[in-house]
A and B are shown apart, each in its own frame.
Chain A
């Protein structure tokens, strides 16, 4: 069974640009969560989607948004990039059967110059 796939693996952008990151969950998993990982802040929860509905959202500005498609694939978008948005963005999927266990992708490393 394929794991969680995130694309692209690396991204370099400049301030003011926008970026879209993609996540394909494990087949059959309907919940997708996004986290921002930085050396200083650890893992910060961005949002969680289930069956195309956002069920929970973290404390991030409105520049951070996401969506989930009918096939459970998810995207997150960051508009008007700032230097502080440089981070590893991790996606995780889960299912009722996994009983709260999260399966993580390898992440997208975003660098904002």
Chain B
């Protein structure tokens, strides 16, 4: 089955710097890759996602890149702010031809942005 590896497990940056979180996946048939942000005491919140027919997607300070050949995808946060501090999860799923393809999550990255 699918396996998603996420690195690093913790990341500390200065406010204004960029942060990059990387994930690799094992199932070459995976075709959907969402990223979630989880704040303390809250559920994961979808912040951006990418599908396999796209190599990059950007939403303001957040971007995601996908390299299907290498089977890895990355989250990029530019101009980080203290409110970006949270745990970030990547995930992957595949289309089973109409039936449910379940999300497989990475183990998370705790991002700390220091003022």
The answer to whether A and B come from one shared complex is: no
Task: List the interface of chain A (C-beta within 8 A of B).
Answer: none
